[in-house]
Amino acid sequence: MTDSLRSSADNKHVEGAATTAAQATSEVRLGNYTQIFKNAVVVSDTDEGLNYAGKARQLAYQTVKMAKEQKLDIEKALFANNAKVAGNSSTARELAGAGSWVATNAVGGTSFAAATGDGTDAYTAGTARALTQTIFDGVMQDIWTEGGKPSTVYLSAAQMAVALGFDGNNNQRNSVQSGRVDNYLSVYMTPWGSVTFTPSREIASADVYIVQDDMFEIAELRPMKNTQLAKTGDNTTRQIVTELTLVSKNEAASGLIADCS
């Protein structure tokens, strides 16, 4: 359920006057669909009986590897510019990713069009242009104006390299101490709030998300579970399934810079 405050008003009243109440407005209910992430691996019983160098059993190794790969798939879906899909008997359900939620404070290049902000559509990409500190600070100001308190910036490695060049960072964070060279961006402070930068391998290189973390949540219907499937031959099959979705509590508290070259 989302709601918003009205604009400020000139609020003054005559002493002793009767009170007039305003009609209450209903909140807006948002929704998303859970997406099923599923992977399976099969190992022959001969393979499972062998002693491998550097690892234990083959099935255990492959299962752990598969779980790590599925986590990458989940991260990619959460940051995707993807609208939600209800699904049916032949179509898989799809969760609406972050690109489909952030609308009020979304900016992009020429011809960019933000999503509606309710998960029903994706944003339309525009002409690519470089990420700049001016653009970044402008979105931070937009978020603050809407009442948001952003805390984390999620971006690709390429855009992280750009952010390291923001004015005021290099002189403060490039240093040599005890033979160690430090070049990183820990906290970026603006009049509109302070944020930390977190690079992601699965975020689109063109997207930079400025997020108030407590306004997004991962809701798990079925936490990651490892299950052995029925035996159908001289092999063993294990399956890993996770079912979850992305919850957007108020998209106006976050921002998106799209079309970054």
Comparing 76-90, 112-126, 144-158, 159-173, the range with the smallest average pLDDT is 159-173
Separation CA 232–CA 223 (nearest Å): 26
* Region 8-16 average pLDDT: 92
What average pLDDT does the structure give for the chain?
91
Its pTM stands at 0.87
Q: Write out the H or E segment, with its range, that includes residue 41.
A: strand 35-44
The b-or-e profile of 154-183 (16+ CB within 10 A means b, else e) is bbbeebbebbeebeebeeeeeeeeeeeeee
Bridging pattern class, strands 106-107 and 216-228: unpaired
pLDDT digits (tens, 9 = 90+) for 178-192: 566 666 677 899 999
What single DSSP character describes residue 13? -
The domain spans of the chain are 35-257
Higher pLDDT, 5 or 190: 190
